[in-house]
Structure formats: structure tokens, C-alpha cells
Chains A and B, each alone.
Chain A
Amino acid sequence: MGNCIGKKENHQKAETLEKSNTLSNEKEPEIDFESEFNVMWQDFGDETKIHDDSLRLFFDKIEIKKDSAEEFLTTYILKCQTLAVITQPELFEYCKLNELNSWDALANSIQEKIREYSEDKKHMRLFFKYIFEKSSDYPKVIETKLAIPILEILIELFPWSLANRFLVYLKMYRKSEHLKIDEWEHIPVFLIEHKDGLHDYNEEDSAFPRLFDEFVKSMSSTFIRVLTHE
């Protein structure tokens, strides 16, 4: 993730930036937004890529936890070409489009979008599609061994019991080596649509891929129930 050239120097640079930010917060002057960005991105070999440490600092500033589902969602919001890698032009483009000129404004904008997207089936479907495109080696399927760890991170976006049960089901019962893109894309849609329970899920009328029918069927299994209780 990111470029590792000049890691030590970059770390020092990031510390300097943090200090300046703290100072500036005390005095409450107008932050030179673009110059701070430039500090983050400069002298790392590839000017468009941000360094890991700076990236951590960047997420701290916008109050997003690093290595979390929100981090992935942020890169989706910023329309980043590479998953969890933010380039300077991408960030600038976002700020320009949304007329953002301070850290607070950027943080607010992204967090607001995260909140909005987390409950929107269409956006979450597109987000999962984005994750699929950026992570799968195949055009129409994603390997289960890759899909499950990614889903373990993304599941935080769905803080209700059904989501965990679904993850348990995938881990235990998904025999096939792959998840089809159609199945993958519909995971968030299914979880959002049935966040209150599966009482209204009707296998025969439901257009969800069969993966979800099988999951719902297995919900009657004691094994799954016991596991999810634990």
C-alpha cells in the first residue's frame, strides 16, 4: 500500500506537519490546505502517491480509522484508481468539485458521505463493485479466500447481527472457490434490505441470487444459530 521510498524522512516530515497542525489549531489561523497536501505528497519519488505514514496522518485528520471499512469507502468516495491508495490529483479533484478548503470541511464531507452511502443500497452495491474491480484477478468472479477477508473488514459497515451471521455462513458453508460478481454485489443490498430480520424474505419471490436463498434456509440450522450467539 503506497510508496515506501524514503520512509524515515517521510515519517519526520509527517511529524513536522502534525506539530504545525497542532500549533495552527491553537492559534486558529486559516490553514493553507493545498500546501499541507503538497507537504504530504512531496519528495516521495512518485509525486502523485502518498506515503503510508502520511496516509495514516491523512486519515487521522479526516477522523477515519485506518485499515477499516471506512478507509475503503473513503477511497471509493474519492474515486481512487487503486484500492486504499490516494493520489494527489484524486484528492485535489474531490476537494475542487466539492469546494473544500479546510481539513474540517474535508472530514465533514467524507464522513457525511460515508453515513449517506452506508444506508444506500445503490451506492453500497457500486462500492462493492468497486472493491471487486480493484481486488479480483478475474473479471466475473472473486476467489472466496480473498472475498472473505475483505468482507470481514467491510462487515463493520453493517453493524447488525444478520451481517455477522452471513459472514459465518460464508466461511462455513460456501464450498465453491469463487463468489460470482452478481453474488458479491448483492451482499450489501441483501444486508441493508433485511437489517430488521428475514421474516419477510420469500425465496420464491426474491430476485436475490441463490446464495442468499441458501443462507436464509441455513438460518434454521442450529449450528449457525449457536455460532452467532457465541
Chain B
Amino acid sequence: MSDKKKPKIKSFKSIAKVASVEEAEELLEKISKAINQIYNFETSTLRYQEYYSYCYTLTMSKKEKILYNSLKSIIEEKTKIITEQLKGVQRENLLVKFRDLWDTHKTCTGYVKNLMSYLETGYIQQNRLTPIYDLGLITFKELVFKDETLCPKLNNLLMEMINKDRNGEVIEKDVIKSISNMLIEVGLNSRQMYKEILEDSFLMQTDIFYNNEAKLLIDEIQVPEFLKKAEERLEEEKRRVFAYLDISSMEPLLRLVDKNFIEINAKALVNSDSGLAKMINNTSINDICRMYRLYQRTHDLQKEIHACLERYILEKCEEIVKNQESIKNPIKLISDIIELREKIILIHTSAFKRDIMAEVSIRRSFENVFNKYPRIVLALVLYIDYLFQKEIKGISDEEIDLKLNKIIALFKYISDKDVFESYYKNYLAKRLLSDKSLNDEAEKSFVRLMKTECGSQYTSRIEGMINDMGVAKQDSNHFQNTAQFDFEVRVLTQTYWPQDDLQPILLPVQLAQISEKFTNFYMTQHSGRRLNWKHSYGNCILKANIGCEGKQYELLVSTYQACVLLLYNETDNYPLTSIISSLRGFKDELVKHILGLVKAKILTKPARGKDLPDDSVLTLNTKFTNKLKRIQVTIISSKEKEKNSQSQTMVDEERKHVIESAIIRVMKSRRELEHPNLIVEVCKLVSHRFTPDIKTVKKRIESLIERDYLERDERNINLYRYKA
């Protein structure tokens, strides 16, 4: 290897010679000729390598600037020819001609670029001059698109074509697509030409077109049809963009459709006769879904739907609440509300796709109704009572669960849950004591649901009532087994059950003996307890020989009624005052039971009417007769209004304690707190039971200050301090 000579590579520069002025002019001439050949499509004889070396020689001879300028001139000259050609084209052929000449121009410029590649990579790049291809495009832009007659012509033609397309006529979409691409390409990195010649006018035309169309349609067609049309137009415009426009036009274009169809008419569409309310009425899920979808496209527009939904629920609920049938029948009232809610929930799930804001609107409107009409709370309790006493008979556990879930959904809307609790306890007590509840498990299940919603503190007393019944039944059975006597007693924990001030009456000997026996029995079982008899809740079967037929009847009466009737063993006439004094009973309560006996025609009273005057003498009906052997005697209970006002008073009283204990709890942990913060904390603490009135909270704070639990700061009256 060492003997052999190493091959020498001569540098390219070293072999290139510098051209003289004459030679350079000759080379420039050759290049110009070649470029002209390219523009005349006579490229077959051109040898690129040859022209590469010409460019190189010219560069070496420092003639590259002259070469670049001469190239520029040739391109300008050729583009001027294109402009003239385009000007001479008939209007209907202009778009096609434009496309063809543009394509040719691009191709030729490409060839020129290849031909002059040495100039491009060397001189042009080093001096940061416009590259040859871009030079071609820029020259085209400068000469063709700045022509005063050509551009408006092109713009008009384009708009005309698009309008035809929008009206369903067939157009050459590929030509428009090419022009659209040309406008983007010619701008290099700018959309300016596309915007100026196509997009701006197109968007303006679109705006006018849809504005007119929407105005026309909104008066002519129903809302669902209008929405369908809007959606169709959106799809059409999307297709249009893909077919012959630049993708950047998509957003402003669709925005115009949204604006003209939906945004401008948002309120009118929702509130129209054929609007959202009608759609909800007809449960037109697809239409509602479409409306929601279209409104979703514009920021903050859905609030119109939410507002309408709220109004709809309020109106429908008020319609239900004020309906005469519902006023008489609370079961119907709640059934109708449940039905309405189910419909709304279906719409929320299927059409609104569980939208959070829609959910808030639904909840808010139901809450408003429930708090505006406290009657609904009582009706709900009555509905539950009806459910547990009658409706759940013979239905499956799954169905029961479904019903309970629907009820608990309504329960969630109640702000004053303590009012509900008060009513619920009254009716639960009645159900449990009269053994009318059909399904203990369902009762427990409902309590569990309430517990999940409001916490264990809320249901502790209700659970206590249900537990009491279980224990009481065991005790009672045990007593019956030992006493061999049909006598049932339910021993209840006083704090769990609804309170009354009624004291036990003086029982007749027959009943007194057995109740004493039970007391003794119970005390042996449970020491340290005190039994307080509640005779007003008791009932018994009384065998009575009354009436002229000498027939023995079995009277299903209350304990009070039995005690009253037993008095008639001695005489047939008894003044009311004597009955009260003999039994040492509470007058108003006794009268309710006596009126039941009067209604059953077992006793007669002198005066007609519903009242029983103090001086009444009640007589045993010696002519009493009844086809039945077993007769149920009712109690004429006090009016619902009175009962409810009693419940409300108890609730108010209970609230005082709840608020005060909340204040103490907060202050004990925080030691000192500013007024607004204390109010917020207290409201938070009690909110699971009821929504407190700020005035009431202030009143309780004042009361605690008065009782020295709290004090105000000497300087800052807003600051409370806990006094341990």
C-alpha cells in the first residue's frame, strides 16, 4: 500500500474558473433562455447539471446578484402575462382558469428553483433573500391579487358559487377548494389573502343569510323543527368547510349559525308555546336533548333552560298543590309530585346528561315548593302512613325499596326536617300502637334511608320507638303467659314518643286490678323504672248487652270509651260532669271518646250538633240495634289544624333547645367568636334538621347572654365570649 500513490481529490473551487464579463453575460443569457423554456414547457432539452455549473461560475465571478435580479425580472414578466391572461378570461371560466394558471405558475417556479439550486442554497440563503419558490408566490400575490378588477371578480364568483351550494345547486367544489388552497398558499404564513378575498365576505354573507333564515323560520315553524333546522345547518356548514374551505373558518362559521339560530332567539325558543315547557310536558326527550346540545354550544346560554326548568317545576307543583282534589287528598298530592319528579329526573338523565347545573335547578325549585307550602310535608307523612298501612300489601321488596327511594328523594327537599320528624313520629306512633304497619322491615328500611340522609341523631328517637315495640311485645307476651289473661301492654320509653300531658284516668275496678298486676309484674322484671299509664292510647273489646233486642255485642272501643260504658252498668243517664269527675279525666280528651260513642248511637245526647255542652246528660240508648255483632267505635279526633299547630309549637320549642345547644357547642370549642361566624357555624350545625331563622338564632344568643353562658366583648360588640 505504501508504494502506491494516494489518489488526490482536487477541490471543486480550484478547477472552476472565473468568468470574464463577456462570458458572464453569455451565461446569464443562457440561464434566461432556460427559464423562458421552463415557462413554455420546453424542459426536455434542459440539463440541470449544466445550469448548476453556470450558476456556480457566475457566483465565483461575483455575478450572483445580477443573476438573482434577472431571475426576479423574468418571474415578474411571466406573472404579468398570467394577469393579462386572467383579465381576458370570460367570467364563467375565470375560476377554472385561475386554478390552472396558478398550478402552472407553481410548477414552473418549482422547476426554476431546481434549476438554480446552487444560487438558492448559496447566495440566497447566505444573504437571507426571498427563496425562489416564495418569490414566485409573492410575485403572483403582488401582481395578480392586487389587480383592481381581478380580485373583486374572483370574490364575487366565489360568493356566488357558495350561495348556489347553500341553496342546493350543484357546483364545482374542487375548483373552489383549489382557489381556497391557493389563497392560503399565496399568503405564505399568513391567512391575509384568504381572509380578504374569501373568508370575510363569506362570513358576512353567511351572517346575513342565517339571520334572514332564522327570522323567517322562527315565526313559521314550531320550536322542535326550528332546532332541527339549526342542527342541520350546523352539519351542512361543517361539511362545507371540509369540502372547500380552510379548516380555520370552521369556528367563526359555526359561531354565526349558533348566533343567528340560537343565541338571538334563546329566550323566545325556550319560552315559546311550543318551547321547553311543552317538550317537557310531552316528554320529548330527543327535542329537549337537541335544545340542550345547541344551547350548550354558547357560553352561559344554558341558564335560560335552567331558568325555564325551574319555572316549569314551580308552576306544575303549584298546580298540583292548588288542585282541589289534591287539597282533599294528600295521597294524590304526593303521588302527583312523585310522578312529576320522575318525569323531570328522566329528562335530566336522558336529555341533560345529568348536568350538574340542571340538577341544582331541579333541587332548588322542589325545595322552594316544599318550603313555600308546608302542607306538602304533612301530606308526605300521610302518604308514608298510607304506604305502610295499605299500599305495600302484596308488593315485592324491590318495589317497596323503589317506592321508599322515591319518598326519600322528596324528603331531601324538606328544609325543616324537624317538622317532618314531628309529624312522622305522631303517625308512626299511631301505626305502631294500633299494629297497623304491614311491614316492619320496610319501616326500618325507611328509617335507615332517613339516617343516611340526616345522620343517626335525627333518627335516634324514631329507632327508639321501633325498638320499644319489639321489647314491649316480649314483655307483654311474658305477662300474658304468666297471668293467663288477654291483656296487652306496650311499655314505651317516654323520651322517644310524642308527648302529651294527659294523666291516667281512674280506672274501673275490673281494669284497675289487672293494670296493677301488670305494674307489679313489670317492676319485678325491671327495677328502678316508673310506669306512667297512657290510657288514651289503649283499646279493648267490650261485650255489652245493650238495646232492646237483648243481643250481646262486641264493641271495639278505646279504654276511655270502655271506662265510660262501664259506668252505665249502674244507671242509664249520666251527666257529662259526673263522667269527668268519676274518671278524673281530662275533659277535652274524654269528650272526643264520648262523641265516638254518640256517633255509634250507643249513647245519646240531648243537643244536636257536633259539640257536647258541659251540662249535657248522656243517656244509654236502650233502643240500640245493629246488624253486626262486632262494632268498631271511632274517636272523634280534634281538627287537623289544631293538631298541626300543636306540632308546630312543639317543633318551635324543640328548635330553641337545638339552636342553644349548637351555640354552646360552638362557643365551648372556640371560646370567642364574632357574630357572623357564630351565625354561620350554628346554621351549619342545625341545617340537617331545619333552616334556622337568623332572628331566632339572635334571640337564643341574647337568651344565653342573659343566662350568663355568653358575654360580649367590652370593646367589640360583635365578639362573643364563652363564660364557662
> Contacts A122-B715, A208-B717, A210-B695 known; A182 to B675 CB distance under 8 Å?
no
Question: Are the CB atoms of A210 and B717 closer together than 8 Å?
Answer: no
In the bound assembly, the distance between CA atoms of A206 and B712 in angstroms comes to 13
Map CB proximity to B onto A160-172 as digits: 1 under 8 Å, 0 otherwise.
0000000000000
In the bound assembly, the distance between CA atoms of A189 and B719 in angstroms comes to 14
In the bound assembly, the distance between CA atoms of A140 and B679 in angstroms comes to 24
- Indicate whether B706 reaches chain A with its CB closer than 8 angstroms: yes
In the bound assembly, the distance between CA atoms of A181 and B702 in angstroms comes to 10
> Contacts A182-B702, A182-B706, A189-B717 known; A207 to B695 CB distance under 8 Å?
no
Question: Which residues of the other chain, A, contact B695 by a CB distance below 8 angstroms?
Answer: 210, 213
Question: Which residues of the other chain, B, contact A126 by a CB distance below 8 angstroms?
Answer: 714
Map CB proximity to B onto A118-147 as digits: 1 under 8 Å, 0 otherwise.
000110011000000000000010000000
In the complex, chain B residues 648-697 whose Cβ is within 8 Å of any chain A Cβ: 674-676, 679, 694-695
Question: Which residues of the other chain, B, contact A186 by a CB distance below 8 angstroms?
Answer: 717
Partner of B712 from A203, A204, A207 at Cβ < 8 Å: A207
Number of interface residues of A (CB under 8 A): 19
> Contacts A122-B714, A182-B712 known; A204 to B706 CB distance under 8 Å?
no
Map CB proximity to B onto A199-230 as digits: 1 under 8 Å, 0 otherwise.
00001111111100100000000000000000
- Indicate whether A194 reaches chain B with its CB closer than 8 angstroms: no
Output the nearest chain B residue to A193 by Cβ-Cβ distance: B717
Expressed in whole angstroms, the minimum distance between the Cβ of B660 and any Cβ of chain A is 16
Expressed in whole angstroms, the minimum distance between the Cβ of A217 and any Cβ of chain B is 10
Map CB proximity to A onto B686-724 as digits: 1 under 8 Å, 0 otherwise.
000000001100110010011000001011011010000
Question: Which residues of the other chain, B, contact A189 by a CB distance below 8 angstroms?
Answer: 717
In the bound assembly, the distance between CA atoms of A210 and B698 in angstroms comes to 7
In the complex, chain B residues 4-63 whose Cβ is within 8 Å of any chain A Cβ: none
- Indicate whether A56 reaches chain B with its CB closer than 8 angstroms: no
Question: Which residues of the other chain, B, contact A210 by a CB distance below 8 angstroms?
Answer: 695, 698-699, 702
Question: Are the CB atoms of A182 and B698 closer together than 8 Å?
Answer: no
Number of interface residues of B (CB under 8 A): 17
Question: Which residues of the other chain, A, contact B702 by a CB distance below 8 angstroms?
Answer: 180, 182, 209-210
Question: Which residues of the other chain, B, contact A125 by a CB distance below 8 angstroms?
Answer: 714
In the bound assembly, the distance between CA atoms of A208 and B694 in angstroms comes to 13
Expressed in whole angstroms, the minimum distance between the Cβ of A101 and any Cβ of chain B is 33
In the bound assembly, the distance between CA atoms of A213 and B698 in angstroms comes to 10
In the bound assembly, the distance between CA atoms of A206 and B698 in angstroms comes to 9
Partner of B706 from A180, A205, A206, A208 at Cβ < 8 Å: A180
Partner of B675 from A140, A205, A213 at Cβ < 8 Å: A205
Question: Are the CB atoms of B705 and A205 closer together than 8 Å?
Answer: no
Expressed in whole angstroms, the minimum distance between the Cβ of B679 and any Cβ of chain A is 8
> Contacts A182-B702, A182-B705 known; A206 to B675 CB distance under 8 Å?
yes
Most buried by A among B712, B717, B718: B717
In the complex, chain B residues 355-409 whose Cβ is within 8 Å of any chain A Cβ: none
In the bound assembly, the distance between CA atoms of A206 and B695 in angstroms comes to 11
In the bound assembly, the distance between CA atoms of A221 and B706 in angstroms comes to 30
Question: Which residues of the other chain, A, contact B679 by a CB distance below 8 angstroms?
Answer: 204
Expressed in whole angstroms, the minimum distance between the Cβ of A203 and any Cβ of chain B is 8
Question: Which residues of the other chain, A, contact B706 by a CB distance below 8 angstroms?
Answer: 140, 180-182
Question: Are the CB atoms of B676 and A205 closer together than 8 Å?
Answer: yes
Question: Which residues of the other chain, B, contact A122 by a CB distance below 8 angstroms?
Answer: 714-715
Question: Which residues of the other chain, B, contact A204 by a CB distance below 8 angstroms?
Answer: 679, 694
Expressed in whole angstroms, the minimum distance between the Cβ of B720 and any Cβ of chain A is 8
Most buried by B among A126, A189, A210, A213: A210
Question: Which residues of the other chain, A, contact B720 by a CB distance below 8 angstroms?
Answer: 207
Question: Which residues of the other chain, B, contact A203 by a CB distance below 8 angstroms?
Answer: 694
Partner of B718 from A182, A207, A209, A213 at Cβ < 8 Å: A207
Expressed in whole angstroms, the minimum distance between the Cβ of B716 and any Cβ of chain A is 9
Output the nearest chain B residue to A203 by Cβ-Cβ distance: B694
> Contacts A122-B715, A125-B714 known; A207 to B675 CB distance under 8 Å?
yes
Question: Which residues of the other chain, A, contact B717 by a CB distance below 8 angstroms?
Answer: 121, 186, 189, 207-208
Output the nearest chain B residue to A205 by Cβ-Cβ distance: B676
Expressed in whole angstroms, the minimum distance between the Cβ of A178 and any Cβ of chain B is 11
In the complex, chain A residues 73-92 whose Cβ is within 8 Å of any chain B Cβ: none
In the bound assembly, the distance between CA atoms of A122 and B716 in angstroms comes to 9
Output the nearest chain A residue to B708 by Cβ-Cβ distance: A140
Expressed in whole angstroms, the minimum distance between the Cβ of A212 and any Cβ of chain B is 10
Output the nearest chain B residue to A185 by Cβ-Cβ distance: B712
Question: Which residues of the other chain, A, contact B714 by a CB distance below 8 angstroms?
Answer: 122, 125-126
Question: Which residues of the other chain, B, contact A182 by a CB distance below 8 angstroms?
Answer: 702, 705-706, 712
Output the nearest chain B residue to A180 by Cβ-Cβ distance: B706
In the bound assembly, the distance between CA atoms of A209 and B705 in angstroms comes to 10
Expressed in whole angstroms, the minimum distance between the Cβ of B712 and any Cβ of chain A is 7
Map CB proximity to A onto B88-100 as digits: 1 under 8 Å, 0 otherwise.
0000000000000
Expressed in whole angstroms, the minimum distance between the Cβ of B470 and any Cβ of chain A is 47
Most buried by B among A122, A126, A204, A207: A207
Output the nearest chain A residue to B714 by Cβ-Cβ distance: A122
Question: Which residues of the other chain, B, contact A205 by a CB distance below 8 angstroms?
Answer: 675-676
In the bound assembly, the distance between CA atoms of A208 and B695 in angstroms comes to 11
In the bound assembly, the distance between CA atoms of A121 and B712 in angstroms comes to 13
Output the nearest chain A residue to B698 by Cβ-Cβ distance: A210
Map CB proximity to B onto A30-73 as digits: 1 under 8 Å, 0 otherwise.
00000000000000000000000000000000000000000000
In the bound assembly, the distance between CA atoms of A31 and B490 in angstroms comes to 92
Question: Which residues of the other chain, A, contact B676 by a CB distance below 8 angstroms?
Answer: 205
In the bound assembly, the distance between CA atoms of A186 and B705 in angstroms comes to 13
Expressed in whole angstroms, the minimum distance between the Cβ of A179 and any Cβ of chain B is 12
In the bound assembly, the distance between CA atoms of A206 and B715 in angstroms comes to 15
In the bound assembly, the distance between CA atoms of A203 and B720 in angstroms comes to 17
Question: Which residues of the other chain, A, contact B674 by a CB distance below 8 angstroms?
Answer: 207
Expressed in whole angstroms, the minimum distance between the Cβ of A216 and any Cβ of chain B is 13
Expressed in whole angstroms, the minimum distance between the Cβ of A169 and any Cβ of chain B is 18
Report the 6 A-B pairs with minimum CB-CB distance, sorted nearest first.
Answer: A207-B675, A207-B718, A204-B694, A182-B705, A205-B676, A122-B715
Chain A residues engaging chain B, CB cutoff 8 angstroms:
121-122, 125-126, 140, 180-182, 186, 189, 203-210, 213
Can you list 22 A-B pairs, Cβ within 8 angstroms, ordered by A? A122-B715, A126-B714, A140-B706, A182-B706, A182-B712, A203-B694, A204-B679, A204-B694, A205-B676, A206-B675, A207-B674, A207-B675, A207-B712, A207-B717, A207-B718, A207-B720, A209-B702, A210-B695, A210-B698, A210-B699, A210-B702, A213-B695
Chain B residues engaging chain A, CB cutoff 8 angstroms:
674-676, 679, 694-695, 698-699, 702, 705-706, 712, 714-715, 717-718, 720
Extra inter-chain contacts (8) besides given A182-B702, A189-B717, A209-B702, CB under 8 Å: A122-B714, A186-B717, A203-B694, A207-B717, A209-B698, A210-B699, A210-B702, A213-B695
